[in-house]
Amino acid sequence: MSYITEYQASIDSPDTFWADKAKQLPWFKAPEKILSDDENGIKRWFADGEMNTCYMALDHHVAQGRGEQIALIYDSPVTDTKMQLTYAELLEKVARFAGLLQANGVSKGDRVVVYMPMISEAVIAMLAAARIGAVHSVVFGGFSANELAVRIDDAQPKMLITASCGIEINRIIEYKPMIDRAIEIATHKPSKVVLLQRQQCIASMHEGRDIDWAEAVKTANKAECVSVSGTDPLYILYTSGTTGKPKGVVRDNGGHAVALKYSMSAVYNMQPGDVFWAASDVGWVVGHSYIVYAPLLHGCTTIVYEGKPVRTPDAGAFWRVIEEYKVKAIFAAPTAFRAIRKEDPDAKLLAKYDLSCLESVFMAGERLDPPTYEWTKQITGKPVIDHWWQTETGWAIASNMIGIERLPTKPGSATKPVPGFNIQILNASGQSLPPNTQGAIAIKLPLPPSCLATIWGDFDRFVSGYLTEYPGYYCSGDGGYIDEDGYLFVMGRTDDVINVAGHRLSTGEMEEILAAHDAVAECTVIGVYDSLKGQIPVGLTLLKDGANISEADLQAELVAMVRKEIGAVACLKQILVVERLPKTRSGKILRKLLRQIAENEEFIVPSTIDDPASIDEIKTIMQTNGLVKPSVE
């Protein structure tokens, strides 16, 4: 089968194409409606199929004789712990925890928020929710109490599942005070909190509300799988949009399972029994899809790694894990490899390990810059595959589909559209652009399985955020071009979303926080180039008349505010005080222009600019402060 035949089939007759892929999964009742309209007029996949994602990921494999195979490997250099669970063992733990959820009143359609570090219990909590038809919403451990509270209020969970602490390099992050604070701030109060006590930190319990995980599972009954429909929600995952309020991307059960199962063979070339390692975090979409669901749906072994690419204990950590567990494919963010390269540029540590088990290195989460691509390829001697995707899709939109046909790679390109994704490059008026011309990357509707069909509780935001700008298309928010050979080059976001160390953040949200400071009259936050993290946010502020604060004090206060409100992961460390910012005559800050200056791109001065001299002024300030991307990466 060639890539082009497969791709064309998916575009010419999506129903037939995906009906065929759906047959790879054990449904309780196979879907007959493959693509149909929902009550909002949005195309949905497998609406009348009946299924359970946890059944497909665990019970089915045990029933098929895979019970003794390792399903999950937990490797934690930060606690010096290693542990493995077979499919049968993982199923037992998940069924029991699901019983605990049921005994505490959680049932089909109820939400549970999971705020956990990278431990096997995070995976157990997610699968247990799926088992009883509940909807999980995992919040990344690097987010603050405030961010957690925002998500609690939006998802309205019955229960919160957490651990006593997370562990960063040489630092214990106590979760419980954050949980208590989040519940205090939130208007909605989850009735129960399940707490996993970790020996590194024993947290206090809130009488009548908190349940001790270890104690409660001892007496819990095992829960059976609850049947859900293909379009019932599996999870909500919040992601940054252009405003302060995160968007709850809703993932359905059926389309998600079908797309992920297909991707394991088609995108990653994995066979059941192989070991797959996504070195991400369960708090991000990569973690949801490729630490938890896809490897298990496909009968592979997955790795939950509680550590970093460097300093846990050194820049050889990735190579050690690959050798130790015979990893066939690793998937990580380019930042991780830049971090390794920074500490071990000649890859001396790699020489200690045998990577013969490794077939490919996959990267996503941010643009894979050609130098990082070349370096990783050279030191590992393996194909490095850049693939582009988003929380909204749950799987790759463009990739080299090595399980179908390995195409030649081009540095800087995510190769070609994945089957099901009809990618077009559009200009501002929605016309398709010719090859090698940069524009907005849009996907012609209908979207393939797994992609979002709404924002939790806010269908209008889904329509206005994704479907309105280019009627008939999903607007990705990324810009780029397709070359003469059909290769896609994703160049970066065209909105106020930035990618910091592979973490998606909203500059709009940071601006709202800065603007709340007494001394700040106006401000903007832009993402600027960073050789390690890809981008980092920098705040540009104008002070109110008469504000009496030094630049250093202002910076310290604003940095602390952002860290408190969003979390350490925001990484806002630099604030500049400027005399003025380029604006339109109606007073809007020209953010796009600032982004283009930071990216060292050509730009056209908008005719609506208030004072053209402000551009040179800000450009000089940005250059002086090292905020303009160097010409050569």
Of 214-222, 303-311, 470-478, 605-613, the segment contacting ligand COA by CB under 6 A is 303-311
Q: Are 269 and 360 in contact (CB under 8 A)?
A: yes
Instruction: Residue 367: name its binding partner from ligand AMP, ligand COA, none (Cβ under 5 to 8 Å by kind).
Output: ligand AMP
Q: Measuring CA to CA, which residue among 320, 447, 415 is closest to residue 38?
A: 447
Tokens, residue 605: 């001065």
Alpha-carbon distances, residue 229 vs 57, 234, 246 (angstroms):
16, 10, 27
Instruction: Residue 416: name its binding partner from ligand AMP, ligand COA, none (Cβ under 5 to 8 Å by kind).
Output: none
96 binds ligand AMP (CB under 6 A): no
CB atoms closer than 10 angstroms to residue 31: 25
Among 141, 190, 248, 446, binds ligand COA (CB under 6 A): 141
In whole angstroms, what is the distance from residue 101 CA to residue 226 CA? 13
Question: Letter for the amino acid at 511?
Answer: E
Q: What is the DSSP letter of 243?
A: S
Residues 6 or more apart whose Cβ sits within 8 Å of residue 527: 498, 499, 500, 507, 535, 536, 537, 538, 595, 598
336 binds ligand COA (CB under 6 A): yes
In whole angstroms, what is the distance from residue 380 CA to residue 364 CA? 18
112 half-sphere exposure, CB direction, 13 A CA radius: 33
Question: Letter for the amino acid at 43?
Answer: K
Instruction: Residue 568: name its binding partner from ligand COA, ligand AMP, none (Cβ under 5 to 8 Å by kind).
Output: ligand COA
Restricting to residues 509-568, which ones interact with ligand COA according to CB under 6 A? 533, 568
Write the DSSP assignment of 321-387 as a string of letters: HHHHHT-SEEEE-HHHHHHHHHH-TT-TTGGGS--TT--EEEE-SS---HHHHHHHHHHH-S-EEE-
In whole angstroms, what is the distance from residue 412 CA to residue 389 CA? 15
Compose the 499-518 pattern: x for residues touching ligand AMP by CB under 6 A, - for all others.
Answer: x----x--------------
Please say which residue, 95 or 498, places its beta carbon nearer to ligand AMP.
Answer: 498
User: What is the dihedral sign for C-alpha 135, 399, 328, 339?
Assistant: negative
Restricting to residues 118-177, which ones interact with ligand AMP according to CB under 6 A? none
Instruction: Indicate the angle between helix axes 145-155 and 176-185, nearest 10 degrees.
Output: 50
Among 9, 11, 103, 173, binds ligand COA (CB under 6 A): 173
Please say which residue, 168 or 405, places its beta carbon nearer to ligand COA.
Answer: 168
For the purposes of burial, counting CB atoms within 10 Å of the CB of 438, is it exposed (0-12), middle (13-18) or buried (19 or more)? middle
* Summary count for the chain: helices (H), strands (E): 20, 32
Could you check whether the bond before residue 446 is cis, i.e. omega within 30 degrees of 0?
yes
Could you check whether the bond before residue 383 is cis, i.e. omega within 30 degrees of 0?
no
Please say which residue, 569 or 628, places its beta carbon nearer to ligand COA.
Answer: 569
10 binds ligand AMP (CB under 6 A): no
Please say which residue, 339 or 404, places its beta carbon nearer to ligand COA.
Answer: 339
> For the chain, how long is the longest CA-to-CA vector?
74
Can you give 430-444 as a three-state secondary structure string? Answer: CCECCCCCCEEEEEE
Please report which helix (H) or strand (E) contains residue 83, including its range: strand 81-86
388 binds ligand AMP (CB under 6 A): yes
Instruction: Residue 336: name its binding partner from ligand AMP, ligand COA, none (Cβ under 5 to 8 Å by kind).
Output: ligand COA
Please say which residue, 72 or 475, places its beta carbon nearer to ligand AMP.
Answer: 475
Of 53-61, 181-189, 420-428, 499-507, the segment contacting ligand COA by CB under 6 A is 499-507
Restricting to residues 213-252, which ones interact with ligand AMP according to CB under 6 A? 239
Contacts with ligand COA by CB under 6 A: the residue count is 26
Give the nearest distance from C-beta 259 to ligand AMP in angstroms.
15
Among 281, 306, 386, 511, binds ligand AMP (CB under 6 A): 386
In the chain, the N- to C-terminal Cα span, in Å, equals 38
Among 247, 367, 583, 591, binds ligand AMP (CB under 6 A): 367
Instruction: Residue 339: name its binding partner from ligand COA, ligand AMP, none (Cβ under 5 to 8 Å by kind).
Output: ligand COA
Residues 6 or more apart whose Cβ sits within 8 Å of residue 11: 419, 420, 422
Instruction: Residue 504: name its binding partner from ligand COA, ligand AMP, none (Cβ under 5 to 8 Å by kind).
Output: ligand AMP
Instruction: Residue 280: name its binding partner from ligand COA, ligand AMP, none (Cβ under 5 to 8 Å by kind).
Output: ligand COA
281 half-sphere exposure, CB direction, 13 A CA radius: 28
Give the nearest distance from C-beta 479 to ligand COA in angstroms.
20
Restricting to residues 444-473, which ones interact with ligand COA according to CB under 6 A? none
In degrees and rounded to multiples of 5, residue 417 shows phi and psi of -60, 140
365 binds ligand COA (CB under 6 A): yes
Of 12-20, 207-215, 382-390, 593-601, the segment contacting ligand AMP by CB under 6 A is 382-390
Please say which residue, 26 or 486, places its beta carbon nearer to ligand AMP.
Answer: 486
Instruction: Residue 309: name its binding partner from ligand COA, ligand AMP, none (Cβ under 5 to 8 Å by kind).
Output: ligand COA
Among 310, 330, 520, 622, binds ligand COA (CB under 6 A): 310
Among 493, 517, 533, 583, binds ligand AMP (CB under 6 A): 493
Compose the 452-481 pattern: x for residues touching ligand AMP by CB under 6 A, - for all others.
Answer: -------------------------xx---
In whole angstroms, what is the distance from residue 258 CA to residue 263 CA? 9
309 binds ligand COA (CB under 6 A): yes
Restricting to residues 273-292, which ones interact with ligand AMP according to CB under 6 A? 284-285
In degrees and rounded to multiples of 5, residue 93 shows phi and psi of -65, -40
Please say which residue, 111 or 367, places its beta carbon nearer to ligand AMP.
Answer: 367
The residues pairing with 576 across neighbouring beta strands, listed in sequence order, are 540
Please say which residue, 157 or 309, places its beta carbon nearer to ligand COA.
Answer: 309
Of 331-339, 394-402, 605-613, 614-622, the segment contacting ligand COA by CB under 6 A is 331-339
Instruction: Residue 97: name its binding partner from ligand COA, ligand AMP, none (Cβ under 5 to 8 Å by kind).
Output: none
Q: Measuring CA to CA, which residue among 228, 232, 234, 250 is closest to residue 154?
A: 250
Instruction: Residue 490: name its binding partner from ligand AMP, ligand COA, none (Cβ under 5 to 8 Å by kind).
Output: ligand AMP
Q: How many residues does the chain have?
A: 633
Summarize as ranges the residues that interact with ligand AMP (CB under 6 A): 239, 284-285, 364-368, 386-391, 414, 477-478, 490, 493, 499, 504
Q: Which residues bind ligand COA (CB under 6 A)?
A: 141-142, 166, 168, 173, 280-281, 284, 286, 308-310, 332-333, 335-336, 339, 364-365, 501-503, 533, 568-569, 571
